[in-house]
């Protein structure tokens, strides 16, 4: 991808930090205080984020969650709340959250943030407060490349049918609906679902089931490039360990699994097709070790992210901004 020759007075740019060209490494030339570099940082993001999909800011003095919050806000958008959550997180500052709080031995596969809905952030930031002793990377991948590498026949099936996500909350198997929606008021849940084209069904035991038909791919609103943009490989039953899957089905039945996904018409998605998608994601994955103080900024539609297993302490916090919707 051609790069325009750009000159910045306060920051250096390394397009060869990784052989994949993603992310671009950004470092201070003189002062490590990010506020001293603010004009160049904003210009860089405006000119290059949509080209590369990801920027890694390293060597800047970021002083905790509040300073990270301030950094993320310089680009002109309010930070978003984590609505319609699918994973456990805690808010550490207004609009700043812990990254997904799954155990250290679990891999979080590549995905685009909130691609299981019709509303998502265009920008997402990750800040490493404590670098893990071993592993614990946040791998990333170019969603444009993923789209191109997926078998066209599989891709066409996904595009033509769309995706139906079904979630069953609570019962100790997944997030409660109170956690997912951030309220214990059923009327508020119903209002949110109505506004966001989500079907909500209250069961006899008081628990909630939701259904929503969403996109399999999307077109970036600014670059107009097609990207692979869904979380079918995470929601599909084939993502579960075989023993866990069989046990869950025997206890609650397939219709009451915590989460599952079908084609938009309700027909099943083949396990082999999902495995092909997982293989492509792995082929496209890019990793680098975190350093304390790093901030990685991604265009959420152009770049997917995940998490490797790790040992020792690890603290990565997250912020999101610039909500975008493909609601019908």
Tens-place pLDDT, residues 139-183: 999 999 999 999 999 999 999 999 999 999 998 888 999 999 999
Taking all residues of the chain, what is their mean pLDDT, rounded to a whole number?
Answer: 94
Same domain, 123 and 41: yes
Q: What digits encode the pLDDT tens for the residues 85-134? A: 888 888 998 899 998 788 899 999 999 999 999 999 999 999 999 999 99
Same domain, 151 and 182: yes
Burial string for 67-106 (b: 16+ CB within 10 Å, else e) reads bbbebbeebeeebbebebbbeebeebbebbbbbbeeebee
Same domain, 38 and 128: yes
The string of DSSP codes covering 185-216 is -HHHHHHHHHHTT-EEEE-TTS-EEEEEEE-S
Same domain, 135 and 248: no
Q: Quote the CA–CA distance of 59 and 294 in Å, as a whole number.
A: 7
> Average pLDDT in the 265-285 region?
98
* pTM for the predicted model, two decimal places: 0.94
Same domain, 309 and 255: no
pLDDT at 6: 64
Same domain, 132 and 258: no
Identify whether 5 is part of a domain: no
Q: What digits encode the pLDDT tens for the residues 123-132? A: 999 999 999 9
User: In the chain, what are the helix, strand and coil shares in percent, each to the nearest 5?
Assistant: 30, 30, 40
Same domain, 309 and 185: no
Same domain, 234 and 295: no
Identify whether 268 is part of a domain: yes
| Number of Cα atoms under 13 Å in the Cβ half of residue 269 | 32
Q: What digits encode the pLDDT tens for the residues 285-304? A: 999 999 999 999 999 999 99
Identify whether 242 is part of a domain: yes
Alpha-carbon torsion, ordered 215, 220, 225, 231, to 10 deg: -40
* Token pair in block for residue 72: 């993320």
pLDDT at 160: 98
Same domain, 211 and 232: yes
Same domain, 290 and 275: no
| Number of Cα atoms under 13 Å in the Cβ half of residue 130 | 10
Identify whether 111 is part of a domain: no
Question: What percent of the chain is predicted at pLDDT more than 70?
Answer: 98
**Nearest to 142, CA basis, from 305, 15, 309, 321:** 305
Identify whether 114 is part of a domain: no
DSSP state of 112: -
How many domains does the chain contain in total? 2
Identify whether 75 is part of a domain: yes
Same domain, 128 and 154: no
Q: 67: part of which helix (H) or strand (E)?
A: helix 64-73
Question: Would you give the distance in Å from CA 195 to the centre of its chain?
Answer: 22
Peptide bond into 49 cis (omega under 30): no
Identify whether 108 is part of a domain: no
Same domain, 169 and 69: no
pLDDT at 63: 86
Identify whether 109 is part of a domain: no
What are the counts of helices (DSSP H) followed by strands (DSSP E) for the chain?
9, 19
pLDDT at 328: 64
| 2 pLDDT higher than 60 | no
Which range of residues forms the domain containing residue 185?
A: 145-280
């Amino acid at each position: 991808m051609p790069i325009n020759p750009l000159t910045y007075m306060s920051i250096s740019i390394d397009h060869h930090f990784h052989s994949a060209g993603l992310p671009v490494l950004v470092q201070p030339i003189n002062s490590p205080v990010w506020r001293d570099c603010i004009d160049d940082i904003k210009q860089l993001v405006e000119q290059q984020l949509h080209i590369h999909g990801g920027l890694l800011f390293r060597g800047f003095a970021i002083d905790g969650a509040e300073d990270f919050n301030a950094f993320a806000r310089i680009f002109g958008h309010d930070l978003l709340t984590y609505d319609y959550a699918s994973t456990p997180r805690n808010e550490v500052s207004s609009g700043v959250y812990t990254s997904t709080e799954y155990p250290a031995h679990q891999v979080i596969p590549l995905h685009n943030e909130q691609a299981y809905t019709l509303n998502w952030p265009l920008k997402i930031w990750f800040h490493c407060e404590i670098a893990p002793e071993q592993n614990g990377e946040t791998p990333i991948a170019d969603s444009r490349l993923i789209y191109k590498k997926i078998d066209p026949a599989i891709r066409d099936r996904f595009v033509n049918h769309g995706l139906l996500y079904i979630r069953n909350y609570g019962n100790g198997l997944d997030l409660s609906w109170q956690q997912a929606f951030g309220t214990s008021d059923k009327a508020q849940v119903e209002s949110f679902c109505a506004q966001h084209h989500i079907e909500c069904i209250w069961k006899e035991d008081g628990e909630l089931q939701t259904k929503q038909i969403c996109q399999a791919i999307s077109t970036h609103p600014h670059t107009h490039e097609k990207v692979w943009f869904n979380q079918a490989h995470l929601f599909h039953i084939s993502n579960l360990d075989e023993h866990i899957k069989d046990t869950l089905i025997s206890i609650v039945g397939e219709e009451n699994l915590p989460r599952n996904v079908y084609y938009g018409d309700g027909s099943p998605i083949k396990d082999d097709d999902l495995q092909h998608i997982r293989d492509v994601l792995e082929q496209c994955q890019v990793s680098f070790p975190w350093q304390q103080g790093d901030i990685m900024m991604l265009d959420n539609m152009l770049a997917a992210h995940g998490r490797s297993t790790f040992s020792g302490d690890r603290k990565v916090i997250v912020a999101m901004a610039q909500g975008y919707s493909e609601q019908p």
